[in-house]
Amino acid sequence: MHTQRSSFRLGLVQMACAPDPNENLEKARWRIREAAARGAQLVCLPELFRSQYFCRQEDPDLFALAEPIPGPTTEVLSSLARELGVAIVAPLFERRAPGLYHNSAVLILPDGSLAGLYRKMHIPHDPLYFEKYYFTPGDTGIRVFATPFGPVAILICWDQWFPEAARLAALAGADLIVYPTAIGWHPSEKQTDGAAQLDAWLTVQRAHAIANGVFVAAVNRTGREGPPGSDLEFWGSSFVADPFGRILAQAPADKESTLVVECHRPLIEQTRRHWPFFRDRRTDAYHGLLQRWLDE
């Protein structure tokens, strides 16, 4: 008999990141404590929270920021998870082997054990987001992890633009897709395109919630990083959407914030019964999705 609780409380830690990795770990620790004190059962940190967003530049010295998994950060956070009885999503710059690095996230269970690892599958590489230099594309595939609070998929940042990733998470049984993120404005574009960029980001993720009948959460950093001319203004705006795409809570763009949001699990099946997309998928006609382009 399945005795999963009918709701879970999700904590999102939207933080600004300092140049010193230890400072960021300390901040994450007290923010997790704060979320747990407010009832959060699963607490998510932003992408690569241990450092500033180093992918603004291509510099071989910056590989020194990487660490193994398990490693020093998971040791600290496992201990904290056990102490507080919460699950933690910890996005890390993973050193898998000398010369082999990933943009990863580990799910830590309330007993301190590691439920597993997700390695970012879709890697961007664009002005000031030079990720292909640092990260080998993930080989984990899209994964769903069992937790005491329900099955959870972790996807990371650029993944959020790919409907395929969200669909695979839902097909694998996720109740919740959480997207640790580091996305912001190029200050020179903010005036003209900033509002449309933020709106597109919200829209595409709310659509994943709608098309898949799942809860979707994005956890972004905030603050400005880098010298003028090559700086990024991270747009915060971390949010949780319900399976109908309604935003349940949202952080501001420009402030650190800890959100704790109750997610009512029966809403998933209720939504899917009313708009039963999974009943009607044409799996016989989707083989083209495995192609790069249909130019034959």
Residues forming the site for its own copies (CB under 8 A): 121-124, 126, 137, 141-142, 158, 161-168, 171-173, 196, 199-200, 203-204, 206-208, 210-211, 244-246, 274-278, 280-283, 285-295
Structural contact between residues 178 and 152, judged by C-beta atoms closer than 8 angstroms: yes
Structural contact between residues 232 and 222, judged by C-beta atoms closer than 8 angstroms: no
- To the query of whether residue 296 is one of the catalytic residues in this protein, the response is no
Distance CA 254, CA 10 (A): 21
Six-digit token pair at 112?
A: 């301190």
Q: Which is nearer to its own copies, 84 or 155 (by Cβ)?
A: 155
**Which residue of the set 17, 55, 94, 120 is catalytic?**
120
- To the query of whether residue 157 is one of the catalytic residues in this protein, the response is yes
- What residue spans of 38-108 are helical by DSSP H? 72-84
Residue with tokens 């897709």: 177
**3 state SS for 198-237:** HHHHHHHHHHHHHHHCCEEEEECCEEEECCCCCCEEEECC
Nearest approach, Cβ of residue 186 and its own copies (Å): 10
Nearest approach, Cβ of residue 127 and its own copies (Å): 9
Q: What sign does the CA torsion over 106, 110, 111, 115 have?
A: negative
- To the query of whether residue 23 is one of the catalytic residues in this protein, the response is no
Structural contact between residues 179 and 155, judged by C-beta atoms closer than 8 angstroms: yes
Q: Which is nearer to its own copies, 33 or 125 (by Cβ)?
A: 125
**Which residue of the set 17, 44, 55, 157 is catalytic?**
157
- Region of residue 236 (left: phi > 0; alpha: psi -120 to 50; beta: else): left
**Which residue of the set 17, 27, 44, 47 is catalytic?**
47
Nearest approach, Cβ of residue 61 and its own copies (Å): 26
Q: Which is nearer to its own copies, 100 or 200 (by Cβ)?
A: 200
Q: What are phi and psi of 204, to 5 degrees?
A: -70, -35
Q: Which is nearer to its own copies, 16 or 144 (by Cβ)?
A: 144
Nearest approach, Cβ of residue 168 and its own copies (Å): 5
Q: Which is nearer to its own copies, 29 or 186 (by Cβ)?
A: 186
Nearest approach, Cβ of residue 294 and its own copies (Å): 4
- Residues marked as catalytic: 47, 120, 157
